[in-house]
Amino acid sequence: MPKVLPRLALQAADREEIERWVRADSTPQQVMLRSHIVLAAADGQSDSAIAQALAVNRKTVTLWRARYATEGLESLWDVAPGRGRKPRYGPEKIQQIVEATLQTTPPGMTHWSCRLMAQHLGVSKSTISNVWRSHNLKPHLSKTFKLSRDPRFLEKLTAVVGLYLNPPQHALVLCVDEKSQIQALDRTQPGLPLKKGRCGTMTHDYKRHGTTTLFAALDVLQGTVIGHCYARHRHQEFVRFLRRLDHEFPGDTPLHLVVDTYGTHTHPTVKVWLDRHPRFVPHCVPTSASWLNLVERWFGELTAQRIRRDSFHSVDDLIAAIEEFLAAWNDNPKPFLWTATVDSIVDKLARCRQTLEQIQPGCTRPKTKRRKKRLSS
């Protein structure tokens, strides 16, 4: 006579969770089977009856009844070691693929592809793809960078990041810059609209109808942007834009301006105007560090969402599109949140400098201005 096991003690919360797994379409089949075993055992059914109803071996029922009783609910999701498909290649082969990707290049080329690496090592493309994915290797991608060699880098970095993370009270922080030479490009033929199964299209060739320059100021706290388009980007236009900011923010509220060291912003005429308006306090980002100016992030949004995929018949059409984007942005402004601290930036740049110095000694040293030698007569 078969041994009758006692009813499995199933807590109410566990039953509710297991029943939710059974109802869910995303639950793996093996977890679904174990859930049915536990529920049936909790209802008092014998192992033999459960095995017959679920078309499994009785030992399987006994195993998962015991696993739940001793290890609880989470054990139903465990995968026993050694189960599943065995890897075709061992650690040595995987290490060979990784080293070949990092230390070699194909003849006459700059980087490996899955097909080339598979042919080179005699494995399948899927094997190369899986190894690259598991080791986060992306030889087909490359990013650009520029390490600042400004001798006052730390001083300027501390001032700008301090404005972002700990802005002064009763003052405004504005990120100011210009996006110059925005081209009014008109496609030579109309593009095809987006539809199911096909993305929108545009011709690769275009006609140029002129350019404009957008001066913009991003309010770091609110996320709103004040912008105006000018035909040129000289210091005269920059002074006119500063006058507009003075009109947009009346009163004596201090305005801290985050700007770069471009000649338009450091012209003597600009300095004279700033001296006459002491509530404007400029803070220059280090050279080759435009990523510190948050308005550059907004310029990226403007390019990606309005300019790059549009067609403009004239400069006036381009300016109208920019003004339309400005109005839509300011109706629902989204401030950009700065999170990096000075220490984290300095540590990252120190690691970068150390690596670059090993490749080319002296390439990261601060630049010093050289005086031109006078030719002796």
Q: Residue 244 belongs to a domain with what CATH number?
A: 3.30.420.10
The verdict on 272 and 161 lying in the same domain is yes
Strand partners, 226: 217
Residue 280 lies in a domain: yes
pLDDT at 84: 61
Residues in Cβ contact with 7 at an 8 Å cutoff, skipping those fewer than 6 apart: 41, 42, 43, 44
pLDDT at 333: 93
This prediction has a pTM of 0.69
pLDDT at 377: 38
Residue 91 lies in a domain: no
The verdict on 71 and 174 lying in the same domain is no
Identify the domain containing residue 28 by its residue range. Answer: 12-77
The verdict on 313 and 218 lying in the same domain is yes
Residue 51 lies in a domain: yes
Residue 102 lies in a domain: no
Residue 270 lies in a domain: yes
Residue 218 lies in a domain: yes
Residue 312 lies in a domain: yes
The verdict on 53 and 184 lying in the same domain is no
The verdict on 45 and 165 lying in the same domain is no
Residue 242 lies in a domain: yes
How many structural domains compose the chain?
2
The verdict on 162 and 273 lying in the same domain is yes
d(CA 162, CA 148): 19
pLDDT at 28: 77
pLDDT per 10-residue tile (average), the chain, 377 residues: 65 86 78 89 88 90 88 80 66 87 92 93 91 89 86 90 91 93 90 86 89 94 93 92 92 91 90 93 91 93 92 92 94 92 90 87 78 49
For 284, counting Cβ atoms within 10 Å of its Cβ (0-12 exposed, 13-18 middle, 19+ buried), the class is: buried
